[in-house]
Amino acid sequence: MIPVEQTHLSISAISHPGMSGKNNEDFYAVSSYQVSQRNKTPSVLVVLADGVGGHNAGEVAAKIASETITNLIAESDATRPLKTLETAIIEAGIEVARNATETHQYHGMGSTCACAWVIGDRLYIGSVGDSRIYIIRNRSIQQLSTDHTWVQEAIEHGIIEKSEAKDHPQAHVIRRYLGSHRNVVPDLRLRLREGETDEQALENQGLRLKAGDTLLLCSDGLTDLVNENEILATLQNNSNEQAVNSLVALANERGGHDNITIVTLEMPADYNGPGKIPLLKRKERENRLRWYVLLVLSILIILITAVVTWLLRQEILPPIHIQSQPSPTETLVVTPFETQQSEGFSATMTPDFDPTETTISDTYTPWPTHTYPPEP
């Protein structure tokens, strides 16, 4: 893809260290592109990472994660967005783990990530950990991503009720993060409603954004202290830029015990640029065309065979004789075709949960992609 300065979405972003006095270990990156010189489809990528680990290693992990994902997606041609997103997140996990192993002071560091990639008006997401992605549409809010926490898995397995999650002793234990000792599995489910199967959530990828839709990515420093209804009300009653500042202020009023990072992307009402139906699934279209051609050919062969057979049975065509070259011992003569009938035949993601296994918890920042705080 080709980097561009202008973006077709309205973007607001903020990152605050909170009130605890610790370093800001969040990092976010916002990048704008067009798909290629010939394909002017606009593209925006947001990566938000929440680092964990002592001795400032968390902010290092978050920066590595954000930059690795951004760079790998920037090198793509946007024809296979989900596969590209999945590969980039896996590579980010490997890169964080490698740095943690090679540098003593980075040992044990890790990071969450929440990625939203909009190509034209199509949305693709991927996540690891407990940083979240929401969509605000038609005066309602929906969490698109799934938390990878002990309590979320306990809810899914019926161990605790949803009402018990917020104040549970293991509420901040994350079960999946970049930099873990085993390769991370990116979560590509995009949930639009409660009760969807994993397969249905995956099929939601490529969601077409409507005019006025707003995406919100945030670290858990916000969602620990501000609930979804408050997020929705703040966005509805303010501009996005005012809203993100108000949400940070509200979280800090309630203790601000963690870093708080928020990025919003809004689809403008007047967007009518190229790529409203981006040409992203070239291989799928080629495969579909190939099947159509094969189907048409098969139908033609069946029709021709049926017509010839009918004509032969009506004795409209003369009998067909096929004679091979005689051999010293035999001569083969085949007289009219005999029809035979052959029998036909026909042929159609939740991670393993171990409530005893715990991982690490806790939780930058520029736009488009510079560091926070500013380098001297």
Strands 214-218 and 322-323: unpaired
The pLDDT of residue 308 is above 80: no
283: its two tokens = 């291989």
- Average pLDDT of the residues in 337-343: 39
Mean pLDDT throughout 288-305?
84
Beta strand residue intervals within 288-364, DSSP E: 322-323, 333-334
Instruction: Count CA within 13 A, CB hemisphere, residue 285.
Output: 7
Lowest mean pLDDT among 3-7, 25-29, 122-126, 369-373: 369-373
> Tens of pLDDT along 195-218?
899 999 999 999 999 999 999 999
Note whether 215 and 265 are within 8 A (CB): yes
pTM for the model: 0.72
Band (295; pLDDT cuts 50, 70, 90): confident
79 against 368, higher pLDDT: 79
Between the CA of residue 74 and those of 43, 108, 318, what are the distances in Å?
10, 29, 68
**154 falls in which pLDDT band (50, 70, 90)?**
confident
Please report the pLDDT score of residue 285 as a whole number. 58
DSSP conformational letter for 320: P
Predicted local confidence at residue 162, as pLDDT: 73
Residue 188: predicted pLDDT: 97
**Domain residues of the chain, as ranges?**
2-280
Biggest CA pair distance of the chain: 104
The answer to whether the CB of 62 falls within 8 A of the CB of 32 is: no
Phi-psi map region of 143: left, alpha, beta (phi>0 left; psi -120 to 50 alpha): beta
CATH 3.60.40.10 for domain 2-280, yes or no, is yes
Mean pLDDT of 165-184: 81
